[in-house]
Amino acid sequence: MILKNNTLARPFVKWVGGKTQLLSEIEALLPHFLYSSKNITYVESFVGGGAVLFWILQQFPNIHHAIINDINLDLINTYKTIKENPKELISILKQIEKEYIYKSEIDRKEYFLLQRELFNSKQEDIILNSALFIFLNKTCFNGLYRVNNAGKFNVPYGKYKKPTICDEENILKCHELLKKVEILQGDFSQTLNYAGKNTFYYLDPPYKPINKTSSFTAYSKENFTDKDQIRLSEFCDNISKKGGYFILSNSDVNTIDKKDSFFDDLYSMYHIHRVMASRMINSNASKRGKIYEIMINNSETKIRLDYGK
């Protein structure tokens, strides 16, 4: 059963492709050993905002060790700051919140641009950078993270009336959960070392674009290409060979174009489930809506999730 409760830890940033809406579908595909084994290692190789991470750690206290990874350095440094220096982070965020909240709209925008410049100047101080990262995430347009070719964050100001910049309670809850989490930055391939019998991976890569205009894959300077999707399918084969379990999410390109069997071919050895999800990546609100996604796993599951295939 999905625990929905304000007292639980949840993502400390908004993140494109966040999985809060798909937790029930993910839960239905979890491997059985999560419910019975005492000694579980959980790996999330594309952690993003961590919707699945924070949920699963609270749902399964028998996960004794967890490893998270993402290619986004600023995001990963913020996880590290929350794990190691939550109080200092909270104090800077409170200060920023005080400075921001009582300003007029025009002054807020100016303040936002100044903090964005400071963030892009890459201060040595990781705690300050983490605070700026959270501030920009809460006040920029749609909570996007986008960088230009020079790696500079360039999302515009977001015009929110009352953004929560410092959620002290949630940061402290995330801190508690991150105590048992090893935090890595880099390509997903470096997380293969952890695969073994009692290991479960949740893999949520940047999605393969369903058409040329709908995609959002620019979480970093490097795009996630079809070659990377193929590398990821080989990574899944290796997890399986080592006796580990995985669930992987991606876009369902086949529902849009029946001739496109990219994922059906890559993952023909596994179970492919088709699910519907709400997505917020289109900047035009009227074009946001339900899209099809696929979820692939390598273990028997309690429920089949396929919709009309």
Ligand X SMILES: C[S@@+](CC[C@H](N)C(=O)[O-])C[C@H]1O[C@@H](n2cnc3c(N)ncnc32)[C@H](O)[C@@H]1O
In the complex, the residues that contact ligand X under the rule CB under 6 A are 15, 17-19, 45-46, 48-49, 51-52, 69-72, 187-188, 204-206, 219-220, 224
Please list, residue by residue across 19-43, b when 16 or more beta carbons sit within 10 angstroms of its beta carbon and e when fewer do. beebbebbbbbbbebbeebeebbbb
Quickly count: other Cβ atoms within 10 Å of residue 207's Cβ. 24
The answer to whether the beta carbons of residues 253 and 284 sit under 8 Å apart is no
Minimal distance, residue 190 CB to ligand X, in Å:
9
- Nearer of residues 54 and 270 to ligand X, judged by Cβ: 54
N-terminal to C-terminal alpha carbon distance within the chain: 26
The answer to whether the beta carbons of residues 32 and 296 sit under 8 Å apart is no
DSSP three-state, residue 184: strand
Minimal distance, residue 220 CB to ligand X, in Å:
6
Give the whole-angstrom CA distance, residue 197 versus residue 239.
9
- Nearer of residues 251 and 299 to ligand X, judged by Cβ: 251
The letter for the amino acid at 72 is N
- Nearer of residues 81 and 220 to ligand X, judged by Cβ: 220
Minimal distance, residue 164 CB to ligand X, in Å:
18
Minimal distance, residue 81 CB to ligand X, in Å:
17
- Nearer of residues 100 and 219 to ligand X, judged by Cβ: 219
Residue of minimal Cβ distance to ligand X: 48
Q: Quick one: DSSP state of residue 99?
A: H
Give the whole-angstrom CA distance, residue 223 versus residue 260.
21
Minimal distance, residue 22 CB to ligand X, in Å:
9
- Nearer of residues 50 and 158 to ligand X, judged by Cβ: 50
- H, E, C per residue of 110-124: HHHHHHHHHHHCCCC
- Nearer of residues 48 and 100 to ligand X, judged by Cβ: 48
Spatial CA neighbour of 297 closest among 243, 254, 246, 262 = 246
Minimal distance, residue 54 CB to ligand X, in Å:
9
Minimal distance, residue 308 CB to ligand X, in Å:
25
Minimal distance, residue 191 CB to ligand X, in Å:
8
Antiparallel, parallel or unpaired: β 199-203 and 181-185: unpaired
- Nearer of residues 92 and 132 to ligand X, judged by Cβ: 132
146 Cβ neighbours under 8 A, 6+ residues apart: 153, 154, 155, 218
- Nearer of residues 97 and 293 to ligand X, judged by Cβ: 293
